[in-house]
Amino acid sequence: MNYVPRELRETADVSRGRFDARDTAVRVLRLGLVLAVAYVALGFVAEGVATWLPTSWEARLMVPERWRTTGDHEAARTRAEATLERLLAGGAVRPLPYRVVVIESATPNAFAIPGGTIGVTSALIERVESERGLAMVLAHELGHHHERHTVRRLGRALLLYVPVALVLGDQGTVTGITLQLAERRHSRAQERAADALGLRLVHEAYGDTSGALEFFEKVQRETAGGAPVWSGFVATHPPTAERIEALEALARELEGRAPGPG
C-alpha cells in the first residue's frame, strides 16, 4: 500500500516568536532619544528665529488689539499708560507699539505679551500706590520686551503655529499659547536683566530711584506675614529678597551713593 500524505489545510504561524520586553524598551528609548534631540535642535532654531524676528513682524503676528482691558478699569489703565509714556520718552527700548491692558484678577501680577503689550492685573494696580512703584513694575516688563525674553520662549510655538495661522487666517491658537507662556516663569537670569533695565529706565525718567521698589518691598513684607494673595506671584518669580538686594545695589550705583553696611 502506497503512503499518500494528507493535504495541510492550516499552518501554524511560528515566525513571530515571544514578546521581547527588553527589545521593546530599547526601541522606545531610542525613539525618545531621537525626539529629545529633535526637540533641542528645534529649540535652537526657534531661538535664532525669535532673536532675528523683525519687530514689525512681531507686532503683527501677536495681534496686540486682541488684548483689551477687562472689567471697569479704564481709569487704572489711563494711569498706567501715562506712566508708561514717561518711561518710553527716553527711547531706550526697542521700538514696538507698547500699550497697557488691565486684566481683572485677584492676584497681583504683570507680564509681557510679545508685540508690545503689557498686562497688569487689577489687584496689582490697587496695591501699588506710588507712580514710581508702578513705573518700576512697567519698566520691568519693558525689560522683558527689550531683551525679547517672551518671544524667545515662544519660538517653538511660532515655528509650529504661526505659518498655519497665517494661511488659515485664524490666530486664536497662537493667542492662547502666547498668553499661557507670557504668564509662566522666566529664568532667574532673565528676571535679573529685566529688573536692572527697569530700574535704569525709572532712574532715567525720574532722575532718581526713590520709591521704585515699593511693589517688591510690599511683596516681601506681606509674604512674610503669610498673605495668600501673593502665592501666584511668588510661585512664578525668583526670591523677592534677592531681587531687592540686587536692585538696592544698582540704585546706589546709579545715584553715586556709597554701599550700605553689611
pLDDT along the chain (262 residues), means of 10: 60 56 78 66 63 74 64 88 95 91 88 88 91 96 90 63 55 50 61 93 94 90 66 62 91 74 40
Rounded CA-CA distance 74/100 in Å is 11
Rounded CA-CA distance 76/69 in Å is 10
What does residue 27 show for φ and ψ, rounded to 5 degrees? Answer: -65, -45
User: In this structure, is the dihedral angle defined by the CA atoms of residues 116, 121, 126 and 128, taken in order, positive or negative?
Assistant: negative
Place of cell 507670557: 182
Return all residues near 205 (Cβ < 8 A) that are at least 6 apart: 86, 87, 89, 90, 135
Rounded CA-CA distance 57/68 in Å is 20
Rounded CA-CA distance 262/149 in Å is 33
Return all residues near 191 (Cβ < 8 A) that are at least 6 apart: 237, 238, 243
Say what the pLDDT of residue 201 is: 96
Rounded CA-CA distance 259/262 in Å is 9
- Helix or strand (DSSP H, E) at 161: helix 155-168
Q: Is 74 exposed, middle or buried (0-12, 13-18, 19+ CB in 10 A)?
A: exposed
Say what the pLDDT of residue 179 is: 45
End-to-end CA gap in the chain: 113
Say what the pLDDT of residue 183 is: 42
Say what the pLDDT of residue 260 is: 47
Task: Give the pTM.
Answer: 0.70
Amino acid identity for residue 34 in this structure: V
